[in-house]
Amino acid sequence: MLGEIEAATDAGAIEALRIEALGKAGSITALLKTLGGMNPEERQARGPEIHALRETVTAALAERKATLDAAALDVKLAAEAIDMSLPADAGPRGSVHPVSQVMDELAEIFADMGFAVATGPEIEDDWRNFTALNIPETHPARAMHDTFYFPDANAEGQKMLLRTHTSPVQIRTMMSQEPPIRIIAPGRVYRSDSDATHTPMFHQVEGLVIDRGIHMGHLKWTLETFLKAYFERDDIVLRLRPSYFPFTEPSAEVDVGYRHEKGRRVVGGNGDDEGHAWMELLGSGMVNRRVIANCGLDPDEWQGFAFGVGVDRLAMLKYGMDDLRAFFDGDLRWLSHYGFGALSVPTLSGGISA
């Protein structure tokens, strides 16, 4: 029996041997039962021997089982061993969307000029999106913007809509903060427009300065300083062209000089120079005194300038994407090509896009 126990190679074999010896019909169990039929002398003589046999077999079974368990554990541990010298699994890694990267770059550049970042809701009312901005009820601008309206008015009877620009954020800021104000308002805006160069949702940054004695010189210097920092070159030349927006007076369209290099538009240089041309990039102007008054400020005391620019277009010009629609497809190949590492944080000292 002890030899058989020693030869057992798995838990099943050990259990079979235990039942054979110690089970209800087991051989040792049978011996133990014979003790009951003996007289006291016989029992005294045979008892210790039979009990000792049971002890020996029980101990042998337990020992063999422990040996087999330890061996099985060794095999399992060897199979699960981790080689600490192997390089770590890279794992799936996301990237920062170019739109987010550019908004971070803009925040960094304007922070250096003393501008705070202001945000607000994407669902706005008709007053903050249009009326406060001197866009009258009948003005074609309201239709021109191809606004997405909600079916129901709000509690005050205001029409509700998806904001068509981030100007309402500036309206909110003027109504809730004392000047001087220096803010940029980046964010999503919506217009019912969809073709190769227009998506129904796109990104805009507007800037607003309200203070005493602000004039167009401040506007031009601010935009020039911003564009030089953003495009990381000193040869940016601006051309301000008279224009019209209901919310600014006077208004100016801002063009930048550029040239074609290897089939790509490269911003820089004077648009009137050989091989160069002008490209419209921003809308801007001095805040219309009616807008200042609509926000509860005295336009004789406070003046300001404002501008608006498309973030998606700024990203395309700097990083060379050619199709706006790809920005919002969520194609992982496009994102891994144009996306930025999570740690490539833009700083002026480190190079804004380094």
Tokens of 175: 């109504």
Quickly list DSSP for 149-190. Answer: B-SS--TTS--EEE-SSSHHHHHHHHHHSPSPEEEEEEEEEE
**Local structure of 135: helix, strand or coil:** coil
**Local structure of 86: helix, strand or coil:** coil
Pick from 110, 247, 327, 340: which binds ligand 2NL (CB under 6 A)?
247
Is 291 a residue that touches ligand 2NL (CB under 6 A)?
yes
The number of residues that bind ligand 2NL (CB under 6 A) is 18
Is 315 a residue that touches ligand 2NL (CB under 6 A)?
no
Crossing angle of the two packed helices 40-79 and 11-22, in degrees rounded to 10: 170
Measured CA to CA, the distance from residue 206 to residue 135 in angstroms comes to: 17
Minimal distance, residue 245 CB to ligand 2NL, in Å: 5
**Which residues in 36-48 are b (16+ Cβ under 10 Å) and which e?**
eeeeeeeeeeeee
Is 170 a residue that touches ligand 2NL (CB under 6 A)?
yes
What track of x and - describes contact with ligand 2NL for positions 127 through 166 (by CB under 6 A)? ----------------------------------------
Measured CA to CA, the distance from residue 50 to residue 344 in angstroms comes to: 81
Angstrom CA distances, 154 to 72, 83, 162, stand at 72, 63, 13
Pick from 98, 186, 257, 283: which binds ligand 2NL (CB under 6 A)?
283
- The residue among 285 and 339 lying less far from ligand 2NL, judged by its C-beta, is 285
Is 248 a residue that touches ligand 2NL (CB under 6 A)?
yes
Is 306 a residue that touches ligand 2NL (CB under 6 A)?
yes
Minimal distance, residue 261 CB to ligand 2NL, in Å: 25
Quickly list DSSP for 243-268. Answer: EEETTEEEEEEEEEEEEEETTEEEE-
- Contact positions with ligand 2NL (CB under 6 A) in 187-206: 206
- The residue among 230 and 340 lying less far from ligand 2NL, judged by its C-beta, is 230
Neighbours of 181 (CB within 10 A): 19
- The residue among 284 and 303 lying less far from ligand 2NL, judged by its C-beta, is 284
- The residue among 50 and 117 lying less far from ligand 2NL, judged by its C-beta, is 117
Measured CA to CA, the distance from residue 272 to residue 276 in angstroms comes to: 6
Is 287 a residue that touches ligand 2NL (CB under 6 A)?
yes
Minimal distance, residue 282 CB to ligand 2NL, in Å: 6
Binding site for ligand 2NL (CB under 6 A): 167, 170-171, 206, 208, 245, 247-248, 283-285, 287, 291, 306-310
